[in-house]
């Protein structure tokens, strides 16, 4: 069982598996393979005032289309939602509220559905901008994203959100080393589940409110070659995977 820390929230990974919710990366093969699940729907549930930027969700679709074999495409589904929650969020809070509001099971016929929720307030560790809590569920905390914008709006909150959204999708894809072991040495030794390459969207600092001070220049929004090679290896079976809710 992988150790899940930082923006990968799994307080009880064994229980998650038993409940069939899985761990981040648990539906990696279902996303990468196009034979059984031919379409990916990204359900975006947001509280009033917290709808993600169009640039962020469009970029998310582009990145998923790049790596996931989905003959019938990747589709966004937006829903304004009121979550029955007050105060900061734990990983379990995110799981509970997300599963209460899901409009569709993650696996339904030939459709695979991931859910990204955008609630008010912050994570229990308010330094965290987003968190992947199981095989299909992510939360992005808009208040923390806004606070992460740099001086003189460089990077802007929108640019931070762009990176964080793709970063958390990367965790649902199993990056880095969540459900496999990469042949490349690109996992950060002090921040498990993250890249040591600041040009990768999976770079460890992307999870932090202080991302603007960690990275100079443009924030990364793309998977680097090691990330892409890992996903290719997972898809063709040359890299073994674990903890999958579905196998080809």
CA distance 153 to 219: 13
Work out the number of other CB atoms within 10 angstroms of the CB of residue 51.
15
> CA neighbours within 13 Å on the CB side: how many for 158?
8
Write out pLDDT tens, residues 127-139.
899 999 999 999 9
- What are the CA-CA distances from residue 63 to residues 74, 201, 237 (Å)? 10, 11, 21
Residue 149 clears pLDDT 60, i.e. is over it: yes
DSSP 184: S
Write out pLDDT tens, residues 43-69.
999 999 999 999 999 999 999 999 999
Higher pLDDT, 213 or 101: 101
| Close Cβ partners of 30 (under 8 Å, ≥ 6 residues apart) | 36, 37, 107, 112, 244, 245, 246
CA distance 198 to 98: 31
| Close Cβ partners of 185 (under 8 Å, ≥ 6 residues apart) | none
What's the pTM? 0.92
Residue 192 clears pLDDT 80, i.e. is over it: yes
Residue 120 clears pLDDT 90, i.e. is over it: yes
Stretch among 7-11, 161-165, 181-185, 199-203 having the lowest mean pLDDT: 7-11
CA distance 25 to 72: 22
**What is the rounded end-to-end Cα distance, in angstroms, of the chain?**
21
Per-residue confidence (pLDDT) for residue 205, from 0 to 100: 87
Mean pLDDT of 93-102: 95
Residues in the chain: 248
Which sequence spans correspond to the domains of the chain? 13-232
Write out pLDDT tens, residues 218-244.
889 999 999 999 999 999 999 999 999
- Write out the two tokens for 188: 């950060």
CA distance 145 to 123: 11
Mean pLDDT of 187-209: 91
Fold that domain 13-232 belongs to in CATH = Collagenase (Catalytic Domain) (3.40.390)
CA distance 45 to 140: 10
| Close Cβ partners of 48 (under 8 Å, ≥ 6 residues apart) | 80, 82
Task: Return the closest-CA partner of residue 137 out of 162, 100, 179, 163.
Answer: 100
- Write out the two tokens for 106: 């993650």
| Residue 195: φ, ψ to 5° | -80, 150
| Residue 211: φ, ψ to 5° | -55, -35
CA distance 193 to 204: 8
Mean pLDDT of 173-184: 98
């Amino acid at each position: 069982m992988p150790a899940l820390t930082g923006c990968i929230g799994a307080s009880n990974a064994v229980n998650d598996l038993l409940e069939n919710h899985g761990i981040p990366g648990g539906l990696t093969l279902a996303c990468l393979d196009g034979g059984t699940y031919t379409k990916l729907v990204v359900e975006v549930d947001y509280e009033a005032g917290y709808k993600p930027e169009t640039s962020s969700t469009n970029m998310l679709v582009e990145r998923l289309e790049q790596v996931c074999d989905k003959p019938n495409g990747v589709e966004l589904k937006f829903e304004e939602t009121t979550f029955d929650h007050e105060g900061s969020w734990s990983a379990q809070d995110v799981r509970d509220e997300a599963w209460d509001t899901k409009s569709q099971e993650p696996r339904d016929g030939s459709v695979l559905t991931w859910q990204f929720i955008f609630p008010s307030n912050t994570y229990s560790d308010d330094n965290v901008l987003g968190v992947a809590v199981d095989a299909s569920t992510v939360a992005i905390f808009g208040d923390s994203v806004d606070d992460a914008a740099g001086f003189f709006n460089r990077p802007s909150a929108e640019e931070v959100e762009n990176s964080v959204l793709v970063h958390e999708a990367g965790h649902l894809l199993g990056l880095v080393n969540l459900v496999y072991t990469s042949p490349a040495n690109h996992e950060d030794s002090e921040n498990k589940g993250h890249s040591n390459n600041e040009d990768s969207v999976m770079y460890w600092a992307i999870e932090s409110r202080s991302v603007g001070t960690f990275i100079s220049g443009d924030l990364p929004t793309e998977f680097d070659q090691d990330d892409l090679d890992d996903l290719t290896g997972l898809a063709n079976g040359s890299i073994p995977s674990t903890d999958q809710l579905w196998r080809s």
